[in-house]
Amino acid sequence: MKYAIIGTGAIGGFYGGMLAKSGKEVHFLFHSDYKEACSSGLTVDSVMGDFCINPIHAYRNTADMPACDIILVCLKTTNNRLLADMLRPILKPDSQIVLVQNGLGIEQQLADVLPPSTAIAGGMAFICSNKIGPAHIRHLDYGKLTVGVHQGDCSKLQILCSDLAKSGVECVLAPNLLEARWKKLVWNVPYNGMTVILDTTTEHLMQQPDSRALIYDIMLEVLRGAEANGVHIPRSFADEMMASTDAMRPYKPSMRLDYDHRRPMEIDAIYTGTLQAARNKGVDLPKIAVMEQQLRFIQQTYLP
């Protein structure tokens, strides 16, 4: 079974690194840190134990990669306009694509530009992981990956779950991809945006009563958007997310790191898509709408 990691950053570096560490054949696509990966390998500092994959199957272009059985796409959605062309050289008729990305509707967007028989699934990572240097990942906490079927013969997802479990990573198959996507938004929507807007980190948000109450209200708006789209998520799930974040190590989510490094933020994937899905059902999410407007101002004013 050949694996491909498209986007060897905080997420792809961890999951791909764990698979490679357990003996799986993994082919990694790098961008700016390709030379460092070739010379020094992929380093992962993890709460589960530090390791380095060296030598490594490293590439800077998918045209040089072999066709693979399971392809984990771990790019930011801001690069998805390039994704179909990147995937075509490594696709086989029975390849399994898993989009380990944020947002709603991204699977269908890819399905629209690939053959209709292509096996496409979504992946939701509940993990605290950052890229701290060239080909260098720091895994701080958690790590569970939830995967769900979008289209095609996704029988290889069971193999993925089994292989990740053998590597020490919890991986579960969700019965409903749309529900899993909305559940991920319950965390992503408040914490990604609020850490940027308020220039802070998750633990400080949770320590202040006012910001804590605002976080919870935003979570409830996400639940309302999900309900309008036929996905019932009990209020207790928001309570679980609050408790998980209370127990989490101090953490800057991916959007805050994108802002810090002056990269485009995933506003469309996390906020615009959520708002549009709710509006299509006649539901307004006012607090999330304000966050979207604030984030667009920040991106247009302070980011290149």
User: Domains of the chain: which residue ranges?
Assistant: 2-175, 179-302
Say what the pLDDT of residue 233 is: 98
Give the pLDDT confidence of 17-43 residue by residue, as tens digits: 999 999 999 999 999 999 999 999 999
Give the pLDDT confidence of 235-269 residue by residue, as tens digits: 999 999 999 999 998 889 999 999 999 999 999 99
Mean pLDDT value of segment 56-82: 97
> pTM above 0.85?
yes
Partnered with residue 44 across adjacent β-strands are 51, 137
Say what the pLDDT of residue 250 is: 87
Distances (CA, A) of 267 to 76, 162, 217, 274, 294: 11, 33, 19, 10, 10
CATH classification number, 179-302, choose in 1.10.540.10, 1.10.1040.10, 1.10.10.10, 3.30.1280.10: 1.10.1040.10
Mean pLDDT value of segment 268-296: 98
- Number of alpha carbons in the 13 Å side-chain half-sphere of residue 75: 20
Here the tokens at position 131 are 């890229």
- Which CATH homologous superfamily contains domain 2-175? NAD(P)-binding Rossmann-like Domain (3.40.50.720)
- Do 102 and 268 meet the contact criterion of CB atoms below 8 Å apart? no
Give the pLDDT confidence of 134-179 residue by residue, as tens digits: 999 999 999 999 999 999 999 999 999 999 999 999 999 999 999 9
287: amino acid identity, one letter:
K
Report the catalytic residues.
184
